[in-house]
Every structure is written in C-alpha cells, then in structure tokens.
Amino acid sequence: MKGLRLPLYGMVWSASAFATAGAAAQLARPTETIEEFELSQPDSALIVPVRIAGANYRFALDTSLVRSEVDFSLRGRLGREIDRDEPLAGERGDDNPIYEAPAMSLGKLRLRPPIAMACSDFTLKRQVLGEKIDGALGMDVLQELVISIDFDAARVRVLRSAGPWLGAPIRLLRHRGRLFVTATLADGQTAPFWIDTGQNGPLAGTLDARSFARLKQADRLEVIGNAYQSSGAETNKRSVGRTTITLPDAAQQIVAFNSADVNSIGLGYLSRYLVTLDFPDNMIYLRRGQQYNRADSVDLSGMHLLRIGAETLVHSVDAGGPAEVFGVLANDRLLSIDGAATAELTMSDIRARFRTVGERRMLLRRGANTLWVNLLIGRPPSKATSDRRETGRLERQ
C-alpha cells in the first residue's frame, strides 16, 4: 500500500447536475429497503447483527478489510484452518489464522459467504468503542451489497438498488479489493483516498505524510494538534492538520486529517452525508446531511480512554498535556464528568466532552481513593500549572 499510485479518474457528472441532485433526492424516489438496522454509535462503528449457526453476533461494516474477520471467541463457529493471513503494507491487522467461512445472514438477508474468514483479537476494538463487537464484514462480503448509511437518523439500510436520486454520484476505483475515490487537495494536486468505514473518530481521515508536509510547507495546512493511535501497549503520535479537500463535483470542505502512511476517508468525513455505497456498480452517492458544516475537532485533554467492563479507564496521558498537568494518571478510573456518570454515557459522548475548550469537572478513582479534578482544557500549560493546586482534591473513601 505504501507508495501506491493509481490512475486518476475524472467525474462524469456535471456541476449543474450536482446542484439538482439534492432536489432530485427530495422527490423521494422509491428505493426498496431489504433490511434496516439501528446504529448505537454511528460516528464510531457501523455495527449490524450477523447470524451464524442460529445465533446473532455484532459485526462492523469495514471497507478497509479485504477479508472478513471474526473474534477468536467465535473460532468454534468456523470450519477448519486453511491458511494464515499476512496483511499488506498499510493494512490493519496481524498474522492471523484463516478458517473456512460459515453460512451467514445479515438480519434476514442470507449472505453469500466468503471462502474463508480470518480470526483476530477484537479485545482492543471493544475497549475503544465501549461496546460488544464480534467481527467485521469486509469487502469479500460487502462487494455484492448496496449499503445506505444515514448518520443523522443513526440507521443503516441494505437497498435493492441505488441511483443519483440518492445524491451526487462519484465513481469508486478498486485496487487489491479496496475502494478509492479521487480527491483534490488544497494545492490543486489530486490523490486517491481509500474509503474506510472502519476508521472512527472525529477526524475526516488520514493524509499521507509527504502530502501533509508539502501542504504544511506551502501554508495550505494548519497543524492543530496531535492524534494518538494505540495498538496494545504501543501508542503512536501523529500530527493533525486542518486543510481543504474536494471530491469530484462536490463543494470544497475544510476538514482535519492526521498524518499517516496512506490517504483515507473515514467515518469522520462520511458522517457529514447520507452515504450510499453501491458496491456492485462501483459508485458512492453523497447527499448533504445535518452535520455537513460541522467543524472537525481534536481531543484537547491529552487523556486516552478505554471501556473495560462497566469502567472507563485512563489508558494513557500525553506528556505536558492538561491531563498530566492536573495529575491524571494512567489506570485511573473516570467515574463522572460534569456530574454525568460515565457508566451511563457512550464512549463517543465522553470523548466529545473533551474536544471543546473549557473546564471539565471529573471524579476519578485511584485505588481506594477518589480524586476530584477540575480539568482546564484549551489553556496554555503555564497558566494551567499555576491553577493546579486549586483544582485537584484527593479524598479517601
């Protein structure tokens, strides 16, 4: 994947046609829905029920995966082991065993099973999302479906067909089983962007390091912070920059990307639209949603959280960030924030509270003690440091 160069395609849909696409969508041209599911955290994962051997499991729709995956806990539901999976450069995953795939259905829709499925450990995914996830449907299954994602209504639908009445059509490119679109960057250069419905978080996606540096040097990208990606015990720091991106015949948007090895568009960008992915015809249709003009934001707390059981755990804190300055430590338990019990909030809700400037009153548990912290975010470290003694209070249970 690294260093990949794809042929660039133009858009075969005129600007005037895009202007009328929204009006056409309002005609509500009938599109038969085969199945429909509610999404619990649409900005974090597209989780749907998949039935295997008479039981329902929670699978994410993940276009980043060429091969579908299941958690090791479902290994007994699979056939015999037939191979081992070595991911391509830039692909998420490990060297995982591959098994014969079982019969599956998506709701009541029987799926044509792939030849094989990989087994991997979904523990960290569950902890990041804060909800149960048993596997992921990749392109080997999705390639035969038409999927519509309504982020505003928190619904995902399987459709019989798709067309321009659903939004502005953009041609999808395929390479090694993955899907790409061509986008224009702030300096006028075009580049392929991988469509990744398995990439969560508030950022639009990722921008390859060379493009990131080029746009920054040309003052076409503003660095606004850092993003941290955890993989087991290892945490990687990436710069986050705000720039513009234009998809074919779509309006230019100001969005935020983190620097990475490849270009990708994730749920942070797609959630601005009603998205319809017509995999058989290699098309994506975009209709502006309620979040179209949403400003991308980054975490300002310097604190990284996981959900383990019913507890919200501080996995790590950034050196010099507000969380460290105010004495938050790794392995602290976050009990409440601004009076709301974290056990009653989704992980998306919790993280969203740390993406705006202001004061957050947190109750932490550290061992047998509780600690009240008034966390000030979005202020210079020097000022935060001077306020530290007045804002932290340790109470023994």
Residue 154 resides in a domain:
no
Residue 153 resides in a domain:
no
Task: Answer yes or no: do 259 and 178 share one domain.
Answer: yes
Q: Which of 235, 254, 288 is the last residue of a domain?
A: 288
Task: Answer yes or no: do 78 and 37 share one domain.
Answer: yes
**Number of neighbours of residue 340 by Cβ within 10 angstroms:** 12
Instruction: Name residues of the chain where pLDDT drops below 50.
Output: 1-28, 88-93, 231-233, 381-397
pLDDT tens-digit profile of 193-209?
999 999 988 889 999 99
Task: Answer yes or no: do 205 and 113 share one domain.
Answer: no
Question: What pLDDT shows up at residue 22?
Answer: 42
Residue 219 resides in a domain:
yes
| Phi then psi dihedrals of residue 77, to 5 deg | -85, -5
Residue 215 resides in a domain:
yes
Residue 163 resides in a domain:
no
Task: Answer yes or no: do 188 and 264 share one domain.
Answer: yes
Task: Answer yes or no: do 24 and 37 share one domain.
Answer: no
The contacts of residue 128 (CB under 8 Å, 6+ apart) are 200, 230, 306, 307, 347
Question: What pLDDT shows up at residue 225?
Answer: 78
Question: What pLDDT shows up at residue 186?
Answer: 95
Question: What pLDDT shows up at residue 235?
Answer: 57
CA distance 47 to 156: 9
Question: By the 8 A CB rule, do 113 and 104 touch?
Answer: yes
CATH of the domain at 184: 2.40.70.10
CATH of the domain at 340: 2.30.42.10
Report the side by side order of strands in the sheet with 146-150.
Answer: 33-38, 155-159, 146-150, 273-278, 283-288, 168-171
Task: Answer yes or no: do 45 and 136 share one domain.
Answer: yes
Task: Answer yes or no: do 201 and 239 share one domain.
Answer: yes
Helices (H), 35-167: 123-129, 139-142
Task: Answer yes or no: do 142 and 182 share one domain.
Answer: no
The contacts of residue 292 (CB under 8 Å, 6+ apart) are 272, 273
Task: Answer yes or no: do 182 and 276 share one domain.
Answer: yes
The contacts of residue 294 (CB under 8 Å, 6+ apart) are 272
Residue 178 resides in a domain:
yes
pLDDT tens-digit profile of 157-175?
999 999 999 999 999 999 8
Task: Answer yes or no: do 252 and 337 share one domain.
Answer: no
Computed from CA positions of residues 254, 259, 262, 268, in that sequence, does the dihedral angle turn out positive or negative?
negative
Task: Answer yes or no: do 325 and 279 share one domain.
Answer: no
The count of domains in the chain is: 3
Q: Which of 117, 147, 177 is the last residue of a domain?
A: 147
Residue 158 resides in a domain:
no
Residue 220 resides in a domain:
yes
Task: Answer yes or no: do 37 and 124 share one domain.
Answer: yes
Question: What pLDDT shows up at residue 83?
Answer: 80
Q: Which domain holds residue 124?
A: 33-147
Q: Which of 147, 177, 201 is the last residue of a domain?
A: 147
